[in-house]
């Protein structure tokens, strides 16, 4: 069974969300999850270093791993 593991960063550390791919393309599944569950911010409070995709509860998307 293949999985995509979404990596999120929060104040308490790195969180992993593990999803079964069900024979779908891993990268496409991760991108779809990102489109639905995060919003891109070019900067936060005027700080461009804080740019990225964030979940509604403030977790930063670090990336994903296909296994």
- Under 8 Å between Cβ of 42 and 60: no
Phi (first) and psi of residue 48, to 5 degrees: -65, -20
The pLDDT assigned to 1 comes to: 73
Q: Where are the domains of the chain?
A: 3-66
Residue 23, classed as helix, strand or coil, is: coil
The pLDDT assigned to 23 comes to: 84
Give Cβ neighbours of residue 6 (< 8 Å, ≥ 6 apart). Answer: 16, 17, 18, 19, 30, 33, 34, 61, 64
- Under 8 Å between Cβ of 8 and 14: yes
User: What pLDDT, in 10s, does the model give residues 7-62?
Assistant: 999 999 999 999 999 888 999 999 999 999 999 999 989 999 999 999 999 999 99
């Amino acid at each position: 069974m293949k999985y995509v593991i979404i990596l999120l960063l929060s104040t308490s550390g790195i969180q992993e969300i593990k999803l079964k791919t069900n024979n779908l393309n891993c990268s496409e599944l991760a991108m779809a999850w990102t489109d639905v569950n995060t919003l891109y911010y070019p900067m936060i409070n005027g700080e461009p270093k804080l740019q990225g995709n964030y979940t509604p509860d403030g977790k930063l998307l670090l990336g994903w791993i296909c296994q």
